[in-house]
Structure 1
Amino acid sequence: MISQASIVQFGTSRFLLGHVAAFAGAALAEGNSREAVLVVQTSARPEGKAKAAALAQQDSYPLHIKGLRNGTPIEEHLSISSIAGCLVAQEEWEALERHFIQTARWVVSNTGDSGYEVAGDTSLAAVPASFPGKLTKLLYARFNAGQPGLTLLPCELIGSNGQVLQNIVSELARKDYDSVRFDTWLNDECCWVNTLVDRIVSAPLEPVGAVAEPYALWVVQQTPRLSMPFEHPAIEVVSSLQPYELRKLHILNLAHTYLVDQWLQLELTGSVTYVREAMREPLLRNALSEVMEQEVLPVLALELPDMDLNAYWQSTLDRFDNPFLDHRLKDIAQYHNDKLSRRIQPMVDMAKNHAVPTPRLSDALKRKNIPNINDKTTLL
C-alpha cells in the first residue's frame, strides 16, 4: 500500500527499476527490510505516464538479468515487488505532498542528464516544472508540518550529486521563502548523500520492467545521520567515493574509450558494431588487454593500493563480453575528444608521476580524430 512506502523515488526510469527498486525488492523478499517504494512520475510525457499507470496497477514488475558472471552465462527472470504505488506529480500533487509529509523517510532520484536544471522555475508554483523545484516545495511542506528531515540519496551521474542537489535546493529555498529556519532545517536536519551508481540497464520491458546486466554497484558515502533503508550485497557504504570514481573512470570508462580509439584506428567501423563484437575481434581485444595490463592497472595499483583492481577489471571484461547487450561503439564514440581528455589524459599524467611508460595511451591522445557529437544515447 502507498501509505507504507517510506522511500519516495523520483523517476520511472528503467535504470531505477533495475537498480535501487530492485535492491529494495530483494531486501523485502528476504525479510531484511519493510521499506517499500512510492514512485513519482515527474514529467507529463505520455510514455512516462503510461509506465506510471502500469506501476500503479501491478503488484510487481519483471526484471530480467542477462549477462556473464565470472565468464558463466546468467539469465534470470525476477519479479520485483517493492513498488507500493505510483503518483503523477502534475495530476496528483496533493496526494504526493501529503505522503511526503506523513510517510517519507528517504528520497531517491534518477532524473537524467538535465534533471538538476532549474532555469526560471520556482518552488512557489502550484506544481513546479523542475525536479529541484518540486523537491524544494515538498521539503518546505514537510518543514512547515513540523516533521523531521529526510535522507536524500540521488543517483544521477553527477559528481558529488548529493552536495550539488543540496546547493541547488538551498538556493531555491532562500530565493522563494527567505526563511532562516527552513535553511537551517535543510542543512542540519536533512541528510544529503553523495552516491555512485554502476549498472547497465539495457532495455525496457513493456508495459513496465527492465533488462539488466548481472553486475551492480551502489556506492554510498558515509554522512552524518545517514541511515540506509535496506542492505544489499551491491551496496557499499564508504568513507570516500573518490577511489571508486577513479576506478570506474580509469578502468570501465577508459576501456570503452580506448576500444573506440582502436576501432577507429584499425578502420573496423564498417565490420564491428557492438562492444561484444569488438571483444571477439583479436586485434581489438589484444590491444585493450595490453593497454590495461601494461599501462593502466600498474598506475592505478600505485594510486589506489587498497582497491581490488584486478577483480574489477575481470568483471569489466564480463560486462564487455555480455552476449545479450547491444552497446554500440558509435554511441561510445560520441564526445570522443572530450572523453580522451577526461579518461585518458589524467591516467597519462599519473603515470608520469610514477615513471610508468604509457606509449599506447599517449598515442591515443594524439588522435583526437573525430568531431564531438551531441551525446544523447551513451549507456555509460
Structure 2
Amino acid sequence: MPDARPVTVVQSSGDAQRAARLQALAEGYEVRIRGLRQGRPVEETCRVTSIARGLIFGPDLAEVQRLVAEEADMILSNTGDAGFGPQVADAGRCLDPAMSYPAKLAYLLRARFEQGGRAVQVLPTELLRGNGTALRDLVLAAAEGMDRDYRDWLRAEVVWVNSLVDRIVSEPLYPAGAIAEPYALWAIEAQPGLRLPCQHPAVQVVPDLGVIERRKLFVLNLGHSWMVAEWLARGRRDAEHVREVMADPDWAARLRTVFAEEVLPGFVAAGEGAGLEDYIETTLERFSNPFLDHRLADIAQNHAQKLERRIAAFLGWAEANGDGRAKPRLRAALQGEIG
C-alpha cells in the first residue's frame, strides 16, 4: 500500500523476554489466512512489512518518550482488557513502566504538548465499547493534577477515535505472525479530523459504530456463548472446537434456530434488521471454518461475565426495543438449564 506509514511497536508491559518477538516483527512476519469465503476454501499467506522497529517500555523509555513527543503521527493500542485497568503506580508523580496504559499516555502526551507538538490521533483497538471515548476519559482522569491548558488540549485538540476490530485469530506463529480467518473488519467511527492509518478493503469508516458493535456482540459473541452453555451442560463432551459444533447437524440446527427465532426479531424490533440475515450466514460460515482451532474451553473463560454481557444484555436490549418474544433457548443458556 503506497500510503502505509511505518509502524513502531512498543511492548508496553516492559517484558524484556519478548525482545525476540519484537525483533521478528520488525524483520517482517507472515499471516496465514485459512478458512471459507462464500463456501470456498481459502488458503493464502500475507507478509507484513509495515513494522519498522520494536521498543520495550522500560529499557527503551527515553526513545519512546522522544518518539511520542516528536515523531508520532498516530498512536494505536491493543493492550487487552487489563491494560486499561488502574494500577497502584498511577498515583505516582512521574512516568513509571508499572502504570496503566492511560496513565502512561497522559505523561507521554504531556511532553508532546510542552514541546509545542501538533495534536495527535489516538486510535485504540481494545474490545471495549466506545474505546476511544473511554480512553480519553481515563487519560483525562490520570492527568487531573496536571496543568489545565494541557488537559484542555487533550480534550479539545487530540482526536480520540472509536473503532472495532473483528477477526478470529486462532493460533500464533513463532517467532512472530499468526493464523487467521479470511473475514476481517476494522470499523472506524467517522468524526471531524479523522485520518485513516491505511487504505484497505477491511478498513471501513462508519457513521455509527453502535450498530456494528451490537451485531458482533449479539450475534457472533452471543452465538459463541450459547455454544459454550450447551457444551458445559453436556459435561464438556462431544466437541472441542467451534467447528465440531457446526459439524453436528442437530447442534448446528439449534444454533440456527436461536439466531432465526430469538436473535433476529430483537434486531428487527430495534430497526436494525436490514442485512442481518446475511451477517448471520457469514457468522455461521466463520464458525464452520475447518482450519481454525477455536477451542470452546478458551471461549468458556469468564463464562458467567460473558453471559451477562452477551445474552442477558441482548435480552434486555431486545425487550426495551419492543421485542416481547419469550426466547426460551437464550434464557435457558443464561440460567444454565440447557439440556
The alignment's TM-score, normalised by the length of structure 1, stands at 0.82
Structure 2: distance between partners of 1:362 and 1:224 = 42
Q: Which position in structure 2 is the counterpart of 1:358?
A: 327
Could you tell me how far 1:124 is from its partner in structure 2? 4.2
Give the counterpart letter for 2:173 in structure 1.
L
Given that 1:254 and 1:344 are in contact with CA atoms closer than 8 Å, whether structure 2 keeps it comes out as yes
* Residue 120 (structure 1) aligned with residue 88 (structure 2): yes
Q: Which residue of 2 aligns with 1:145?
A: 115
1:46 shift after superposition: 4.1
Match of 1:279 in 2: 246
**Of 46, 49, 62, which residue of structure 2 is paired with 1:81?**
49
Task: Judge conservation of contact 1:262–1:287 (CA < 8 Å) in 2.
Answer: no
Shift of residue 361, structure 1, vs aligned partner: 2.2
Q: Percent sequence identity over matched residues? A: 41
Query: Matched residue of 1:334: which SS?
Result: coil
Partner residue of 1:212? 180
Aligned to 2:256: 289
- More divergent stretch after superposition (224-233 vs 181-190): 224-233
Structure 2: which amino acid aligns with 1:69?
R
Is contact 2:140-2:151 (8 Å) kept?
A: yes
Range that drifts further, 83-92 or 304-313:
304-313
Letter paired with 2:325: V
Q: 2:205 maps to which residue? A: 237
Tell me, in whole angstroms, the C-alpha distance in 2 between the residues paired with 1:236 and 1:34. 16
Q: Secondary structure at the match of 1:114?
A: helix
1:127 CA drift (Å): 4.0
Give the AA of the match of 1:362. Answer: R
Given the alignment of the two structures, is residue 62 of structure 1 paired with residue 43 of structure 2, yes or no? no
Aligned length: 334
- Whether the 8 Å CA contact 1:336–1:368 is kept in 2: the answer is no
- In the TM superposition, residue 108 of structure 1 has moved relative to its aligned partner by 0.4
**Equivalences for residues 102-121 of structure 1 within 5 A:** 102-121=70-89
Q: Deviations over 1:84-114 (max 9, x none)?
A: 1111221122222222222211110000121
Q: Secondary structure at the match of 1:215?
A: coil
Q: CA deviation at 1:204?
A: 1.6
What SS does the aligned partner of 2:81 have? coil
| RMSD, matched Cα | 2.1
Paired AA for residue 336 in structure 1: H
| Residue of structure 2 aligned with 1:167, choices 137, 157, 174 | 137
After superposition, the C-alpha distances for 1:40-87 in whole angstroms (9 at most, x for unaligned) are 11123244222112234x1x2111111111111111111111111111
Tell me how far apart the structure 1 counterparts of residues 67 and 16 of structure 2 sit (CA, whole Å).
Answer: 24
Contact 2:76 2:125 in 1 (8 A): yes
Shift of 1:348: 3.4
Q: Counterpart of 1:115 in 2: which secondary structure?
A: helix
Residue 363 of structure 1 aligns to which amino acid in structure 2? A
Distance 1:329 1:229 in 2: 34
Give the 3 Å change call, closer, same or farther, for CA 261–126 of structure 1 in structure 2: closer
Pairwise CA distance, 1:368: 5.9
Native 8 Å contact 1:93 1:127 kept in 2 = no
Answering whether residue 276 of structure 2 is matched by residue 309 of structure 1, we say yes
Q: Tell me if the contact between 1:337 and 1:368 (Cα under 8 Å) persists in the aligned partners.
A: no
Distance in 1 (CA, whole Å) between partners of 2:329 and 2:95 is 56
Question: Which aligned pairs between 1:1-380 and structure 2 lie closer than 5 A?
Answer: 28=1, 31=2, 33-56=3-26, 58=27, 60-122=28-90, 124-125=93-94, 127-130=96-99, 131-175=101-145, 178-265=146-233, 267=234, 269-305=236-272, 307-352=274-319, 353-367=322-336
Provide the rounded CA distance (Å) in 2 between the counterparts of 1:179 and 1:158.
29
Asked whether the 8 Å contact 2:231–2:237 carries over to 1, the reply is no
Query: What is residue 4 of structure 1 aligned with on the other side?
Result: none
Maintained 8 Å contact 2:14/2:59: no
Q: CA–CA distance in 2 between the matches of 1:294 and 1:321?
A: 21
| Amino acid of the structure 1 residue aligned with 2:8 | L
> Residue 211 of structure 2 contacts residue 272 of structure 2 at CA under 8 Å; is this kept in 1?
no
TM-score of the aligned structures, taking structure 2 as reference length: 0.91
- CA gap of 1:365–1:116, structure 2 versus 1, over 3 A, is closer
Partners of 2:95 and 2:107 within 8 A in 1: no
Displacement after TM superposition at 1:242 (Å): 1.2
Code of the residue aligned with 1:55 in structure 2: it is L
Deviation at 1:144, TM superposition (A): 0.9
1:183-230 residue CA offsets vs partner (Å, 9 max, x unmatched): 111111101111111111222211111211111111111223212222
